[in-house]
């Protein structure tokens, strides 16, 4: 029998490896930016077109490559970062596997221009699908320019799995921000379709965070710093009052490498225990430095997960450091009470004796006298003269006419009862006594002919609001209530772009936008039945629900917005409803097109027949 196992060709092996390394344009951005950082660049430019599907270009002023290195860097497992297996546990750079450039070149058109400072000419290399098209000398500035065009051009199936341009751009921005936050000493700029999106000059950590996440971020940050033998921590955490529902602004960096760690995240949440409302997520930007030989970063293809030698010690130190910072800056409750400086004794009163007050008593005061006596004091309480009234009324005069007034009041109230009692018929009054009942501030019970209906008030209200918002966005006839003073809300750059894209749909629900700046929106009108304090929460929930992607069709986009707003503004479990509110909710639900399920396909009510109840008692 002939052998059936054979070695794969290099171009096929590279395409298979690309499945691990390159999942979307953001993966290319990550690899190229990290290579530029490793090349000791101080100025890095990222240029993308159509969210990276057409072009991803990274230009840096690093050390560049020689002719041999420029050709060799596209070979598999070719790297300058490691020589021995032991080097994996003493890494100080980003990339080290030597698969990134080979994988990228296998699925795209690649053009590289590089030049070292001491050389007169640089190298210009063109590769298409792992095949070298040309390599020739060229006049170039110092550094490297790497262009990746037409990603997945030779793998159409992979290209079809890419999301919309908005979603892919958001992933690219995420990767750009992670690298930029880790290296504030490098000048970063980013351009998309010819327009500048980020311009981040060299700065410190705090200023870099503020430049990326708008100017209002500065007042939200609380510094964290701790130095120990096994770990050093520096960075910032957000104040509890600025916590959000989504986890967008949460960053861990270990030795200047972005990582994800549920274990360390739990330590942060534990430090905020008792300070955050239910479901809220704090923002944090924490930079951890540990000895390279105590971590293993080669456990995940994207290198976003790290294995620590002593996780328990890191957990305790991180939790204690954040708790200390929150308490030090009066963010968390402290044991000692705040001292009021107004209660301090002034300096000029320190040598003065206390003055004791004198007590004066009017022993002849009569509260039942017709006129109060005029008092005149001179000297002490013994030298006092009074002028009393000559005539006093008898005690019986206080009760004159009381009986007659009481009779008049009784007859008046009796007349009112006679008039109002005839307004409604007794039968009608009995029928409208009570039609709905609220149980445990969660369910509404309403009797029907065959038995009773038990309704979930939260899901029912979600269905009512969902259909209202969807109708308003479809017919463009939403009502709005104007605010006396415009409401100003601050969001990050990514969130601002998302809100600007959703502006037409939000205006159809009742929002009125006065202006949208770089880091703030000004709202002058809000939907009816929405309070001013709920606006920020509604928009945060909407942004959180749309983080995974905005539907491309307008109907799907409106549907997502209507679901999110209905979920945010619906009556929550535990809210007391009056009888009138209960009846309105029941009537509005059964006036909906599909009252049986909520917008999230969960039942809104159940029906219990009398026969079912009889069977229960027959047991």
CA 100 to CA 107: how far, in whole Å? 11
Question: What gap in Å lies between CA 206 and CA 211, rounded to an integer?
Answer: 9
User: Dihedral through CA 318, CA 322, CA 323, CA 325, nearest 10?
Assistant: 140
Going from the C-alpha of 399 to that of each of 368, 391, 410, the distances in angstroms are 14, 18, 18
Q: Give the 3-state secondary structure of 92-132.
A: CCCCCCCCHHHHHHHCCEEEEEEECCCCCCEEEEEEECCEE
Backbone angles phi, psi at 486, to 5 degrees: -60, 145
Rounded to whole angstroms, the Cα distance separating 564 from 558 reads 10
| DSSP element (H, E) containing 325 | helix 311-328
Q: Which two tokens stand for residue 595?
A: 């009252």
Do the beta carbons of residue 566 and residue 465 sit within 8 Å? yes
Strands (E), 150-300: 187-192, 195-200, 221-227, 232-238, 250-254, 257-259, 284-289, 295-296
Burial (CB < 10 A; 0-12, 13-18, 19+), residue 583, is middle
Query: Does the CA dihedral 555-557-562-563 come out positive or negative?
Result: positive
In 473-552, DSSP assigns E strands to 480-490, 512-516, 520-527
**Dihedrals phi, psi of 506, to nearest 5 degrees:** -65, -35
pLDDT of residue 492: 77
CB atoms closer than 10 angstroms to residue 580? 9
Q: How many residues does the chain have?
A: 619
Which residue is it, tokens 């060229």? 138
Give residue 558's pLDDT: 83
Q: pTM here? A: 0.70
**Long-range interactions of 65-69: CB distance < 8 A, separation 24+:** 65/114, 65/116, 65/123, 65/144, 66/116, 66/119, 67/123
User: 165-182 and 25-38 are packed helices; what angle lies between their axes, rounded to 10 degrees?
Assistant: 20
∠ CA 358-364-365, rounded to 5°? 85
Strands 187-192 and 43-49: parallel
For the record, the structure tokens of 252 come out as 């861990």
Q: Which residues contact 16 (CB under 8 A, 6 or more apart)?
A: 8
Cα 237 to Cα 267: distance, rounded to the nearest angstrom: 13
Copy the structure tokens of residue 198: 């980020």
d(CA 92, CA 361): 88
Distance CA 317, CA 329 (A): 18
Neighbours of 353 (CB within 10 A): 5
Q: What is the pLDDT of residues 397-456, one digit of tens each?
A: 655 655 555 444 444 444 444 444 444 444 444 445 567 888 988 999 988 888 899 999
pLDDT tens figures, 281-320: 899 999 999 888 887 776 666 667 777 888 888 999 999 9
Contacts of 130 (CB under 8 A, 6+ apart): 10, 11, 14, 74, 102, 105, 106
| 187 CB neighbour count, 10 Å cutoff | 18
User: What is the full DSSP assignment across 418-445?
Assistant: HHHTTSS-HHHHHHTS---EEETTTEEE
The partner residues of 386 in beta bridges, in order of sequence, read 375
* Structure tokens belonging to residue 296: 């293993």
Give residue 481's pLDDT: 86
Residue 336 CA to residue 334 CA, distance in Å, equals: 6
Answer yes or no: are the C-beta atoms of 127 and 74 closer than 8 Å. yes
Q: Which token pair is 196?
A: 């500048």
Instruction: Report the chain (619 residues): mean pLDDT per 10 consecutive residues.
Output: 71 63 87 90 94 93 88 73 52 60 87 91 89 89 92 84 83 92 94 91 92 83 90 91 81 90 90 84 92 74 75 91 85 55 64 80 80 49 44 55 51 44 45 73 89 92 91 80 86 79 85 82 86 84 71 70 88 89 90 91 91 84
Q: Three-class SS of residue 451?
A: strand
3-state secondary structure of 263: helix
pLDDT score for 381: 46
pLDDT reported for residue 251: 92
DSSP 45: E
Q: How far is the C-alpha of 80 from the C-alpha of 89, rounded, in Å?
A: 15
DSSP reduced 3-state for 346? coil
pLDDT score of 488: 86
**Side-chain-side CA neighbours of residue 371 (13 Å):** 9
Other CB atoms within 10 Å distance of the CB of residue 343: 6
Question: Which residues face 387 on adjacent strands?
Answer: 374
What pairs with residue 60 in β-bridges?
Answer: 44, 144
The DSSP-derived string for 70-99 is HHHTTSTT--SS-SSGGGGGS--SS--SS-
Question: In which element (H, E) is residue 446 found?
Answer: strand 443-448
Count Cα neighbours of 482 within 13 Å in the Cβ-side half-sphere.
2
Can you say how many angstroms the Cα of residue 405 is from the centroid of all Cα atoms in its chain? 67
**DSSP secondary structure letter of residue 476:** T
């Amino acid at each position: 029998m002939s052998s059936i196992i054979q070695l794969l060709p290099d171009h096929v092996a590279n395409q298979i490896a690309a499945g691990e390394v390159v999942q979307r344009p953001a993966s290319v951005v990550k690899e190229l930016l990290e290579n530029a950082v490793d090349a000791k660049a101080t100025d890095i430019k990222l240029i993308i077109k159509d969210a990276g599907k057409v072009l991803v270009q990274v230009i840096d002023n690093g050390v560049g490559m020689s002719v041999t290195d420029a050709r060799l860097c596209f070979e598999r497992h070719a790297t300058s970062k490691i020589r021995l297996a032991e080097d994996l546990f003493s890494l100080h750079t980003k990339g080290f596997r030597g698969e990134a450039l080979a994988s990228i070149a296998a699925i795209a058109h690649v053009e590289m221009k590089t030049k070292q400072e001491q050389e007169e000419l640089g190298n210009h290399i063109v590769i298409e699908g792992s095949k070298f098209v040309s390599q020739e000398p060229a006049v170039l500035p110092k550094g490297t320019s790497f262009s990746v065009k037409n990603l997945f051009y030779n793998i159409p199936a992979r290209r079809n799995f890419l999301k919309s341009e908005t979603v892919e751009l958001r992933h690219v921005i995420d990767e750009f921000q992670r690298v930029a936050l880790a290296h504030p000493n490098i000048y970063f700029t980013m351009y998309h379709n010819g327009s500048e999106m980020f311009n981040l000059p060299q700065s410190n950590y705090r200023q870099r965070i503020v430049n990326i996440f708008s100017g209002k971020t500065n007042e939200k940050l609380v510094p964290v710093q701790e130095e120990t033998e096994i770990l050093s921590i520096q960075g910032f955490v957000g104040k509890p009052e600025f916590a959000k529902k989504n986890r967008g602004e949460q960053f861990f960096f270990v030795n200047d490498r972005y990582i994800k760690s549920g274990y360390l995240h739990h330590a942060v949440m534990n430090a905020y225990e008792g300070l955050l409302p239910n479901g809220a997520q704090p923002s944090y930007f924490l930079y951890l430095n540990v000895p390279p030989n105590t971590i293993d970063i080669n456990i995940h293809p994207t290198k976003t997960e790290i294995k620590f030698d002593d996780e328990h010690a890191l957990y305790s130190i991180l939790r204690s450091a954040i708790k200390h910072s929150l308490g030090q800056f009066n963010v968390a409750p402290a044991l000692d009470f705040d001292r009021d400086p107004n209660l301090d004794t002034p300096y000029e009163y320190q040598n003065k004796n206390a003055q004791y007050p004198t007590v004066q008593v009017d022993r002849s005061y009569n509260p039942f006298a017709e006129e109060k006596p005029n008092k005149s004091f001179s000297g002490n309480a013994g030298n006092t003269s009074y002028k009393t009234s000559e005539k006093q009324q008898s005690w019986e005069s206080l009760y004159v006419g009381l009986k007659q007034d009481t009779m008049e009041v009784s007859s008046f109230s009796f007349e009112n009862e006679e008039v109002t009692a005839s307004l409604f018929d007794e039968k009608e009054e009995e029928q409208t006594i009570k039609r709905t009942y609220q149980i445990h501030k969660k369910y509404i019970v309403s009797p029907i002919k065959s038995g009773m209906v038990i309704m979930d008030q939260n899901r029912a209200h979600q269905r009512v609001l969902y259909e209202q918002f969807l109708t308003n966005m479809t017919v463009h006839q939403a009502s709005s209530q104007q605010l006396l003073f415009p409401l100003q809300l601050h969001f990050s750059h990514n969130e601002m772009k998302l809100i600007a894209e959703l502006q037409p749909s939000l205006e159809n629900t009742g929002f009125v936008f006065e202006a949208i700046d770089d880091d703030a929106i000004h709202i002058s009108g809000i939907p009816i039945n929405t309070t001013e304090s709920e606006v920020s929460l509604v928009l945060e929930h909407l942004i959180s629900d749309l983080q995974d992607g905005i539907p491309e069709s307008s109907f799907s986009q409106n549907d997502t917005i209507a679901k999110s707003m209905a979920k945010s503004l619906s009556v929550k479990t535990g809210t007391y409803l009056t009888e009138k509110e209960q009846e309105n909710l029941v009537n509005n639900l059964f006036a909906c097109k599909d009252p049986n399920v909520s917008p999230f396909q969960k039942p809104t009510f159940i029906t219990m027949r009398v026969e079912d109840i009889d069977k229960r008692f027959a047991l």
